[in-house]
Amino acid sequence: MSSPVSAHMGLLSLEPWDCVWRRNQHMSSQLLEQGIVERITFVEPADWAPVEIGQPEVGITTVRPRLKIPKRAGGLRLLGSSLRRGALRDIDLLWINDAPLGRWVVRPGQRAFYDVTDDWRESKSPERLCRRLVAAENWLSTRTVTVVCSQELASRWSQRYGLQPAIVPNGVDLRVWRDVVPVNMPGDGPHVGYVGTLHAERLDVALVVELARSGSSI
């Protein structure tokens, strides 16, 4: 096997490592399995609780850092400095999901890339959060190689920053689909199934609840 691209990769994730496997967990696992990296420090979203460290898989260490002061008072800048000196001090490559935090973690000369999972500035977040995100993306656009998930996002970044980001298409774990066992559902169909987390920005939860309670067919 050839030498890994990165001996130690750090990931600033927008989501925790939990029982619902999403893109970050699948990609992290595959990077290790394919020998592209040797180990990964998976930084979960910070909160006010004490620091928590785990090892969900061989080669992967999860860190849930503690937010010591509010973000609006410089909490992310302080947290970024703490991560640079601590959990991410010896990384060879930084994978950024969380742009507002990422801008404070990248060191001068740091190999880093911004994984643009979505156009979060178009979400219904409060204006201060949007300003924080735009400022972070403006900063990262000049200091990282941008990797995006879709042609649409690549087009937007090209228009905003004059960049030609690499496109990483969506994928599926074929092994899971090959091994699936059909389940017969009781009652009249059609039946709608969903696997994943409920995210108000992407799913109209109220509409789903209303539909379920109505008992009407689709």
The number of domains in the chain is 1
Tens-digit pLDDT string for the chain (218 aa) = 456 667 999 999 999 999 888 889 989 999 999 999 999 999 999 999 999 999 999 999 999 999 999 999 999 999 999 999 999 999 999 999 999 999 999 999 899 999 998 898 888 889 999 999 999 999 999 999 888 888 889 999 999 999 888 888 877 778 878 888 888 888 877 777 777 667 777 778 888 788 878 766 54
State how beta strands 52-57 and 60-64 pair: antiparallel
Q: Which of 148, 175, 181 is nearest to 163 (CA)?
A: 148
**Cis geometry, peptide bond prior to residue 169 (ω within 30 degrees of 0):** no
Residue 211 belongs to a domain: no
Q: Range of 63's domain?
A: 6-167
Locate all alpha helices (DSSP H) within 63-204, ordered by sequence. 75-85, 99-105, 127-140, 151-161, 174-178
Contact 53, 39 (CB under 8 A): no
Residue 182 belongs to a domain: no
Both tokens of 13, joined, read 């994730």
Residue 45 belongs to a domain: yes
Residue 191 belongs to a domain: no
Residue 204 belongs to a domain: no
Phi, psi of 75 (to 5 degrees): -60, -40
| Beta bridge partner(s), residue 10 | 41, 94
Q: What confidence score (pLDDT) does residue 214 get? A: 79
Residue 11 belongs to a domain: yes
Both tokens of 9, joined, read 């990769």
Predicted TM-score (pTM) above 0.75: yes
Q: What confidence score (pLDDT) does residue 39 get? A: 96
CA angle, 85 then 90 then 91, to 5°: 115
Residue type, 179: D
Contact 137, 156 (CB under 8 A): no
Residue 174 belongs to a domain: no
Residue 58 belongs to a domain: yes
Q: In CATH, what number is assigned to the domain containing residue 51?
A: 3.40.50.2000
Contact 16, 64 (CB under 8 A): yes
